[in-house]
Amino acid sequence: MAEATTEGTGTGADKPGLFAPLFTDIRVAAVLGLGFAQGMPFLLVYSTQSAWLSEAKVPLATIGLLSELTVAYKLKFLWAPFLDRYDPPLLGRLIGRRRGWIVASQLAVAAALAGVAFGDPAHWLAWTVVFSLALGVAGATQDIVVDGWRIAVAPVERQALMSSWVEIGFRCGNLAAGAGALYLADAYGWRVAYLCMAALMAPGTIAALLAPEPSTEDQPTRAGLIETVWSPIRDLKARLGPLAVPVLLLVAGFRMPGYVSNAMAIPLFKYLGYSNTDIATVTKLFGFWIALAGTFLASAVIQRIGMMASLLIGTVAASASHLALAYLAWHGGHGGAAFWTFAASVGIDGFAYAFASIVLITYMSRLASSQHAASQYALLTSLCALPGSVLAGFSGFVIEETGFPLFFVGTALIGLPVAALCVFVARRHGPMDA
């Protein structure tokens, strides 16, 4: 396989420590704030919103179908090439192409959140659907441009570090959009919760304004439609060489079990009788620290055993962790009384998910080039999300036929062929060491 690395701009020490660069490298500090903003929209149109929909007595099958409102995250590769080549109006001249698009997308996210806030899914579901779809498009666009900035602004040896800190920021955003929104919803209602989430996009905008703009030397120039779309694909295919198909299949399947499982996790908790406060405490408050532990471990493991070995551990652990949710479905009911069974099961799943996320983010970042950073990373993340998200749309129907326990056993088994593919790819292009 051709060497798949990111030729970033700037310098960085090999295998830097995790915490010191936060205070010495503005890129690392900025990516923490940008990761926070990235962690907000998806949860508010997906997992957190499913709690609102459950309270509004929307049928499970419909909730499963509404998970498709995140379709923009799977299709973002369609407009990502244009964000690599064209400046945003006005903002591009003031703060640069990549930072300009970041700020524009964050303003759009805040506006869409305000729109969702004034909806009422119990009586007017169409309103919620329209603004949630807009939120998904704005959030996906933010992901494109933040990831493009992260890959272009730092050299390859700093990508594991940048991935770790963007994930830490992402987890903080998840904590706000998950636990914060659920606590606020219990105390003041869903409208106040979503308006507060719109206001919390501000730290991300401040980070974007303080962040350095990547060098413009490698930025692609304006081109025709076909060249704009095809150029990043051609470049990625050329660098992956004969392993292009198996590598892309590995990316496509890596998070498939997680996407299918996550669509029905909150409905399971509500079905078992847990309150919004219980769910927020376990999945977000406890889960935040558990996820940080998984993030720190992944960063250390990648440096010690290499990229492909870490990927294999990640996919096996993340898939197997769904058996904990199956156990919870069998033994965690009692009207929400089995709190520690709930906490342990969700903790196992969350730790494995966080570990797997870091190794996948780092792997995909290394596959993308700095010139086409937004386009190629968006293509890879869309490829990662699309299969699992399509299957997730049918998850409610599956549960109505099989029940929750067998459903989560099934999602665990999906990981077996993915692990086999990971071994196949690793044997053919080596460990791809950190």
pLDDT band at 433 (very low <50, low <70, confident <90, very high): very low
pLDDT band per the 50, 70, 90 thresholds, residue 221:
low
Query: For 22-65, what is each residue's pLDDT tens digit?
Result: 777 888 899 999 999 999 998 898 778 888 888 877 777 777 77
Residue 4 has pLDDT above 50, yes or no: no
pLDDT of residue 396: 81
Q: What's the pLDDT score for residue 337?
A: 66
pLDDT at 381: 85
CA 415 – CA 417 distance, rounded (Å)? 6
Q: Which residues, in sequence order, are CB contacts of 130 under 8 Å at separation 6+? A: 115
* Cβ contacts of 379 within 8 Å, gap of 6 or more: 77, 80, 232, 233, 236
| Residue (of 259, 168, 245) closest to 421 by Cα position | 245
Does residue 410 register a pLDDT over 50?
Answer: yes
Q: Is the pLDDT score of 140 beyond 80? A: yes
The answer to whether 325 and 386 are in contact (CB under 8 A) is: no
pLDDT greater than 70 at residue 17: no
Look at residue 313 and tell me whether its pLDDT is greater than 60: yes
Q: What is the pLDDT of residues 105-124, one digit of tens each?
A: 999 999 999 999 998 888 88
> Can you tell me which residue has the tokens 């797997």?
356
403: DSSP letter: -
How many residues in the chain?
Answer: 434
The secondary structure of residue 243, as a DSSP letter, is G
Please tell me the predicted confidence (pLDDT) of residue 220.
Answer: 66
Q: To the nearest whole percent, how much of the chain has pLDDT over 70?
A: 91
- pTM, rounded to two decimals: 0.74
| Backbone φ/ψ region at 208: left (φ over 0), alpha (ψ -120 to 50), beta | alpha
Residue 7, pLDDT above cutoff 80: no
How far, in Å, CA of 405 to CA of 408, rounded? 6
Closest by CA position to 42, among listed 73, 76, 74, 63: 73
pLDDT at residue 95 is higher than 60: yes
Q: How far apart are the first and last CA of the chain?
A: 17
Q: Based on DSSP, count helices (H) and strands (E) in the chain, helices before strands.
A: 27, 0
Domains and CATH numbers, the chain: 20-215+223-429 (1.20.1250.20)
Residue 38 contacts residue 173 (beta carbons within 8 Å): yes
What gap in Å lies between CA 150 and CA 80, rounded to an integer? 15
Tens digits of residue pLDDT in 256-301: 888 888 878 888 888 888 887 888 788 877 888 898 899 889 988 8
What is the distance between the alpha carbons of residues 389 and 382, in angstroms, rounded to a whole number? 10
The pLDDT score that the predictor gives to residue 347 is 93
Residue 11 has pLDDT above 70, yes or no: no
Q: How far is CA 254 from CA 204, 227, 260, 380, 409, in A?
A: 28, 30, 12, 11, 17
3-state secondary structure of 120: strand
Mean pLDDT, the chain, integer? 84
Q: What is residue 142's predicted lDDT score, i.e. its pLDDT?
A: 95
Q: Which pLDDT tens digit goes with each residue over 367-404?
A: 888 778 888 998 898 888 778 878 877 888 888 888 88
User: Residue 165: which of 11, 53, 24, 282 has the closest Cα?
Assistant: 24
